[in-house]
Every structure is written in C-alpha cells, then in structure tokens.
Amino acid sequence: MLTSGKQPQQLSTLRCSLLTLAILTLLSFTFLSLRYSTPQVSVANLLGDTKEVSRSVEQDGEEFSDIYHSPRVFKFNFAEMENKFKVYIYEDGDPKTFYQTPRKLTGKYASEGYFFQNIRESHFRTLDPDQAHLFFIPISCHKMRGKGTSYDNMTIIVQNYVESLISKYPYWNRTLGADHFFVTCHDVGVRATEGLPLLVKNSIRAVCSPSYDVGFIPHKDIALPQVLQPFALPAGGNDIENRTTLGFWAGHRNSKIRVILARVWENDTELDISNNRISRADGHLVYQKRFYRSKFCICPGGSQVNSARIADSIHYGCIPVILSNYYDLPFNDILDWRKYAVVLKESDVYQLKQILKRIPDADFVALHNNLVKVQRHFQWNSPPIKYDAFHMVMYDLWLRHHTIQY
C-alpha cells in the first residue's frame, strides 16, 4: 500500500512520462508527414527555378501598365507559367466525331476552336500525365451542335465520355476532378454537362457565358472571351479625332435589356442606336465602320450575359460599355476593366447618355489609350502569340491550379 507521501511523487513522475511520450509521438508524426507527403525539392533546385523565372522576366524588358490589377505580379507569374505549366490531353475519342479537334476557327464560337487547336500545338502540352498540373477533357459541344445532336443526347454523350475516363484512368479520382477542365463557348455546352454533377461542381469550366446566376463559380471557373474572328477590318486605336458619335449599338432585340435600350434611345440624336442589326444591303462593312466612328460602344447581354460585341469594340478601338448583370468579365481577376471600359448595371440604361456625357475628355483619352493596350489579350492566333487570348486563358488556368491540393 502506497504511503501518502510517495503517491503524489509517483503521480508526478507518471505525468512527466506521459507528456514526454506525447511529445515524441507528435514529433514522429510530423517527421513522417513531411517525409512522405512533401515533394523532395532541394534548396539549390528551388533557387534555380526562381532565378530562371527572374531571368525570364528581366529579359522580357516590357513595361506593364496599370491595366492590370498588379502589373508586377502578372509579369512574374506569367513568366513562371511559361516555364513550368503542363497540361495533359486525354487521347480518347474519335477526332472525326466530337473530340480532340475544333469544329472551325471562324464565327462567334471561334474561341472554343482556337483553344482546341492551340493547346495541342503549344509547349504547355505534355504526353506524360505524371508531369501534368491539369488535365484537359477534349470534348467539343460545338461539334455536337454542328452535327445536329439534341440537347438530351449531348448530355448523355458528355456523361458517358467523362465516366469512361474516370473508370479507365486514376487521375480523376485523386481530386474528384478538381484538376480537370473543359472548354465550351456555345451556351448549350454548359447545360450539356449537367448530367455529371462532379464535372460542374469540381472541375474548372472555361465558358463564354459566365453568369453568376446559373452556377458559374468565379474562383474556380474561367470566363472565355467570345471573339468573332476573323475581324473584317484592321484594329482601331489612336484615332480619337475621328470618333464623333457618342455611343453606338445595333443588334437583335433578344433580351429584355436590348428591348429597353432600343425603346429608350433609338430616336436619340447623339446616340446611334439601331433597332436591328445593320443589313448588308446598307453597304459593305457598314456595321464594322460605325465602330471606328464611335467613342463608346454599348454591349448589352443577349440570350446570355456575354456578347461578341465586347471583343469587336476592343478590336476597333471603341470603348465598351458593359450593360449586363451577373457577368464575370473575361480575365477579370487579371485585368482592371474600369481602366479601359465603362461597367454599368442594367438599370443604368435609362441614364445612359447622361452617364457617358459626364465622362471628362481626359478620362476618355485615358480609357482609349488603355483599350489599345489590351487589344492583344482579346485576339486569337494560330500558332498562338505571347500574351494573346490563348495565353491569357492558360494564365487563368495556371492561377486556378494553385488552389488544388492532392
């Protein structure tokens, strides 16, 4: 039997032993965690990568203006992306049907076609899936639409294709698809993915119709610029003296905001607002030439929040006036749209002329000069050119991949 004097002493010793054991256990688990879950990168290699990126940034020698939220960060991260980013393209699917290759590189859904072609030709592509940061699901809803596939059948085709990738390869299951992405410019492409909830909730969606109120997730998904290429006329810009019309819009009244815009302003003497698209019978390229003559080009949403008119305005040097609610503008996390565009709420349509006339001449000149600087970011090329639309989409993907942990 323990005496009253020895009992506290032994309890104290026991507590010390248990505490020591707990500390040793914690240290062991910490060591094992670092040993087996953290990549083994030497300090020399890490410094070497950083030096390589810094050297690339210094050699670039290009000055970046405040059209970017953070010019210095963009320049450094872009160089890092160029050096490191790798994407694996699943090889499954017959290119003659709905997979791998673009339908075409013209028309208002050309952005999808250019991405499909450019990613295959670019240095970002890797044939080794173990080296990939992201995985591209190369199914083209634009191709399906071109072949007359019904919406219901499109949903089934997308579901079957993705499920076949999930069962055949191990990569999807590592993150439940969070490191996978698909690209669609046609709005039916977004709806065609609804048969596979994980594709919508987890994977990165690069779409031309990025609306907050239909499931678009800004920190995960990407807004593609809808660009109608080829452009009919050369790029405008540095031509302020020729821009005598306050504002211009012509188009179909296929949305509530367009109906209101036409009804309120079509007879105004300072705003050039047409009730319908300008007919070819009115003359050769009359529609495009009116961009050249206008200071501001009104860009209301149509059947979706987006419009190819935004890229047209940028190309022709006419400051876009965004009149579309819930629209996550392309490259919005990279570019400061308020430095080269006028972003309004749809309810502002009734005061549209007054708002535009209140913009000081000095501010208009600054907006116009900045617009010229962003033109290259809204141009698709084949092969792609540094800082063009393809590279900006890739940069957005690069930013998204940093949030994925597996």
Strand partners, 297: 248, 320
pLDDT digits (tens, 9 = 90+) for 209-223: 767 656 788 889 999
In this structure, the answer to whether residues 180 and 127 fall within a common structural domain is: yes
Q: Do 259 and 349 fall into the same domain?
A: yes
Residue 372 placed within a domain: yes
CATH of the domain at 260: 3.40.50.2000
pTM for the model stands at 0.82
pLDDT above 50 for 79? yes
Same domain, 217 and 327: no
- Six-digit token pair at 95? 């290119």
Direct distance between the N- and C-terminal alpha carbons of the chain, in angstroms, rounded to an integer: 56
pLDDT confidence band for 53 (50 / 70 / 90)? very low
**Does residue 64 form part of some domain?**
no
In the predicted structure, residue 62 carries a pLDDT above the cut 50:
yes
> In the prediction, which pLDDT does 7 show?
54
Does any domain span residue 271?
yes
User: 43 — phi, psi (to 5°)?
Assistant: -60, -40
**Whether residues 85 and 143 fall in one domain:** yes
User: Do 215 and 97 share a domain, yes or no?
Assistant: yes
Is residue 131 in a domain?
yes
Please tell me whether residues 370 and 392 are part of one structural domain. no
Q: Is the Cβ–Cβ distance between 142 and 109 less than 8 Å? A: yes
Are both 183 and 252 inside the same structural domain? no
Q: Does 47 fall in a domain?
A: no
Domain shared by 90 and 214, yes or no: yes
- Whether residues 202 and 295 fall in one domain: no
pLDDT of res. 61: 52
Is 179 among the domain residues?
yes
Higher-confidence position of 44 and 150: 150
33: in domain: no
Q: Are 188 and 262 within one domain?
A: no
Binned at pLDDT 50, 70 and 90, residue 185 comes out as: confident
Please determine, for residue 70, whether its predicted confidence score (pLDDT) is greater than 60. yes
Q: What local confidence, expressed as pLDDT, does residue 40 receive?
A: 38
Q: What mean pLDDT comes out for the span 213-241? A: 87
Question: Whole domain around residue 214: which residue ranges?
Answer: 77-228+384-400
> What total of structural domains would you count in the chain?
2
Residues 266, 344 within the same domain: yes
Do residues 212 and 350 share a domain?
no
CA distances (Å), origin 97, targets 142, 143, 144, 169: 11, 7, 8, 22
- Which residue pairs from 34-38 have beta carbons closer than 8 angstroms and sit at least 24 positions apart in sequence? none
Rounded distance between C-alpha atoms, residue 376 and residue 117, angstroms = 19
Sequence-distant (≥ 6) Cβ neighbours of residue 242 within 8 angstroms: 292, 293
